[in-house]
Structure 1
Amino acid sequence: MVQLTQALAAILLATGAVAHPGKSINKDILRRQAHLDHPERRSVQSCKRGLVDSGWVREQHMRREARLHELRVAAGFAKPHELVRRDPAEAEASFGEAAACTLDPESTEGPYWVTGELIRSDVLTGEKGAITHLDINVIDTTTCSPVTDAYVELWGTNATGVYTGVQARGNGDGSASAVTTNALRGIQPTGSNGTASFITVIPGHYVGRTNHLHTIIHHGATKLPNNTIQGGTISHVGQFYVDQTFLAQVEATSPYNINTQAITKNANDMLFNMAKQGGDDPVMKISLIGSKIEDGLYATIDVGVNPKARQMPQPVNMWTEKGGIPVPNSPWTGYPDSCRYCGFGTRPPKEKRVDEARDAE
């Protein structure tokens, strides 16, 4: 698998892969490759036995079934007594076959990360689209136990492929209207089972990238009186994706179908291809709440992290009561035309992090 990954990385580097408009992702490819090659790399799969034996997998399976049923009952598509359960043994057998990873960022934070977001589960703020109830399950791959004291940050585009809280030429039509809203951005703490829950939408596509959600995992942060977090460390920077067949069905619904930006499919997205290597699967597991997409969706994904890892993503803006304001000296300032992170060879060496081999001891 590593040899195949290295071959893919070489091809992507040779083609000068481009993600967001005007930005080469060669540095991101190299960083992901270094992660895959790391001798101490561990995924959720490596914790399968412990998580199964502890009962966590069975408990999560039953909780997810109950949550989907709860959503169906609330939407009028099922009766309270109609819950049908799958054999938990089947869920235990298949658990960990596909899971997110640890050590290095799975992918770049991108040019549109806005720090200072609010702690809230419903991040819609009036946005329309395929409404998605998303459970993100965070697992410590050094102890094989759920992470119960972290904050999960989530953000993505709206249905027409525009990020809020920022203004940039590559962000939709580049208008300033998006700066004044923090829609589809938020933070949630993990609960006793390691789960953080959001209500968002399936993100729309934009030039150069397939549809994806961004996430950052915070540890040791302090909740402030204004309902934001401060301090702590970041162990994981990743992106979540959607199965291409299902994504095509979403794109056919309103308002996705009025998005005129060029579509990049998963198979042609360089970061998606790298994220799929090494036994990982960054694709969310999605179920219909009703009979069609417009009735709402329930999605889950498991993310393995090493809480001692130290990643240093860089925000472009900070959210305030006045909207998104520039972060001084951000390397993303001026994206996609003049930022320090624009183009090949401009990103600094791998971010400082603790040595994973030492941390695992």
Structure 2
Amino acid sequence: MTGNTEEHTTPQPEGPAHKRNMTRRKVVVAGGAAVVGVGAAGALAMSASADEATEATSTESASATGTAAETCYKLTSETTEGPYYIDADKLRQDITEDNEGIPLTLQLKVIDAATCKPVVDAAVDIWHCDALGLYSGYESFSQGGGTAPTDAPTDAPSGTPTDIPTGTPTGEPPSGGGGGGHEEPTSDTRYLRGTWKTDKKGCVTFTSIFPGWYQGRTVHIHTKVHVDGEWTDAGYEGGQTCHTGQFFFDEESVLLSAEVEPYSTSTTTRTTLTEDTIYDQSGTTGGLLKLKYNKKNISKGVIGSITMGVDTDATNDGTS
């Protein structure tokens, strides 16, 4: 993450700098057993929460009696894709790759917001930074937030500079913070990234770590939902991206995580949830996760869950 991109230290406006042909999307299979695993719906040990199940049941009953043309879930907010999406993630549920951090189980459910029915066989991508704010594939661009070096120079210049520039700056502003065009990967690492298939209940579960933070952004996870494609021996092909969004964590959980290593070694100024320029402050609709953890010992692990209401007929690739 350079200082010139979203996932860095300087905010930037989002822009449609990188376009993709979404009609022929392919996900590269990581190993011969990956596709076989995709077909094993029994491997997805996730179910809707009790309150979601109750809400879905009541709304479906209303629709069945013809009393409502209403939706049972609001459309989940669309957000920027960001510069660090890689359109060839591994088909897997466990994306940790031995990264250090608080264990995170992410339980997602994808619902058609117009019908309240589960979206089956959708491809769901997630990706996020590590505990110190670095993204796989882009370490050379990353600032991160590790412990400050102990061998800082002692002969730093002093005094006031005499050659301060004057005038109004011209050209494009520096990138960073909120979005920006896509950046091509600079390494082959792919930790904390993955793609998996929703089951007959529209559910998918990922295993990861609680994300860290970097300057200009609150703690978050990126996601995409792809529909109308085909699962083949080569992965997932065709269809369109109907949702591009981000998941967020409440302040209490982030403050508790900041007391646990390696998060506690970060020297980066943290952007709070209310200060973030991407989160729209709308709660669940905006991507705020429902979290479960031991407040006295968050290091034991966190379970985050959310139901995403999507428009399966729309194309929302997050680049505009």
Same fold, TM-score > 0.5, yes or no: yes
Secondary structure of 2:242's counterpart equals: strand
Change (3 A) 1:181 1:63: farther
Output aligned runs, 1:269-284, within 5 Å.
269-272=276-279, 274=280, 276-277=281-282, 280-284=285-289
Structure of higher RCO (CA pairs closer than 8 Å, 6+ residues apart)? 2
The unaligned stretches of length 5 or more in structure 1 are: 1-17, 29-58, 65-87, 315-349, 351-361
Q: What is the CA deviation profile of residues 282-306 of structure 1, one whole-angstrom value per residue up to 9, with x for unaligned ones?
A: 2111112796212122111110001
Query: CA 1:136–1:235 in 2, change beyond 3 Å: closer, same or farther?
Result: same
**Residue type matched to 1:61 in 2?**
S
Q: What letter corresponds to residue 310 of structure 2 in structure 1?
A: V
Q: Equivalents in 2 of 1:216, 1:162: separation in Å?
A: 20
Q: TM-score, normalised by structure 1?
A: 0.58
Q: Show CA shifts across 1:42-88 (max 9, x none).
A: xxxxxxxxxxxxxxxxx733599xxxxxxxxxxxxxxxxxxxxxxx8
- Name the residue aligned to 2:316: 311
Contact 2:7 2:142 in 1 (8 A): no
1:142 equivalent among 105, 110, 114? 114
Q: Which residue of 1 aligns with 2:291?
A: 286
Partner of 1:53: none
Q: Equivalents in 2 of 1:187, 1:171: separation in Å?
A: 26
In 1, the alpha carbon distance for the partners of 2:221 and 2:92 equals 17
Q: Which residue of 1 aligns with 2:49?
A: 61
2:49 alignment partner AA: H
Structure 1's 149 and 249: CA in aligned 2 closer, same or farther, altered over 3 A? Answer: same
Match of 1:166 in 2: 138
Q: Confirm or deny that 1:108 pairs with 2:80.
A: yes
Distance in 2 of aligned mates of 1:186 and 1:301: 18
Aligned to 1:259: 266
Following superposition, the deviation at residue 132 of structure 1 comes to 0.9
Q: Give the counterpart of 2:99 among 101, 112, 127.
A: 127
Measured at CA, do residues 212 and 178 of structure 1 come closer, stay the same or move farther in structure 2, by a change above 3 Å? farther
Q: Give 1:218's aligned residue.
A: 226
- Report the residue type matching 2:249 in the other structure: V
Name the structure with the higher helix share. Answer: 1
Q: What count of residue pairs does the alignment treat as equivalent?
A: 237
Residue identity in the other structure for 1:238: G
* Contact 1:167-1:179 within 8 A present in 2 as well: yes
CA apart distance, 1:127: 0.7
Alignment check: 8 A CA contact 2:106 2:304 kept: yes
Cα gap change, 1:202 to 1:259, in 2 (>3 Å): same
Partners of 1:146 and 1:301 in 2: CA distance: 13
Look up the match of 1:25. 13
- Among 214, 217, 240, the alignment partner of 1:209 is 217
1:193 aligns to 2:162 (yes or no) = no
Q: Provide the identity percentage.
A: 29
Give the 3 Å change call, closer, same or farther, for CA 223–243 of structure 1 in structure 2.
same
The alignment's C-alpha RMSD in Å is 3.6
- Secondary structure of 1:24's counterpart equals coil
Secondary structure class of the residue paired with 2:207: strand
Change (3 A) 1:144 1:117: same
* 1:258 to partner: Cα distance: 1.2
Match of 1:244 in 2: 251
Q: 1:256 to 1:280 in 2, by over 3 A?
A: same
Supply the distance in 2 between the matched residues of 1:311 and 1:170 (Cα, whole angstroms): 27
Distance 1:279 1:118 in 2: 27
In 1: Cα distance, 2:204 partner to 2:306 partner: 10
Classify 1:90/1:186 alpha carbon distance in 2 versus 1 (closer, same or farther; 3 Å): closer
Mark the CA change 1:191 to 1:296 in structure 2 (over 3 Å): closer, same or farther.
same
TM-score by length of 2: 0.64
- Measured after TM superposition, the shift of residue 142 of structure 1 is 1.8
The residue matched to 1:116 in structure 2 has which SS?
coil
Point out the more displaced range, 215-224 or 251-260: 215-224
C-alpha contact (below 8 Å) 1:163/1:178 kept by paired residues: no
Residue among 303, 310, 313 paired with 1:298: 303
Counterpart AA for 2:311: N
C-alpha separation in 2, matches of 1:155 and 1:238: 11
Distance 1:262 1:134, change over 3 A: same
CA positional deviation for 1:25: 3.0
Q: Is the 8 A contact 1:100 1:281 kept in 2?
A: no
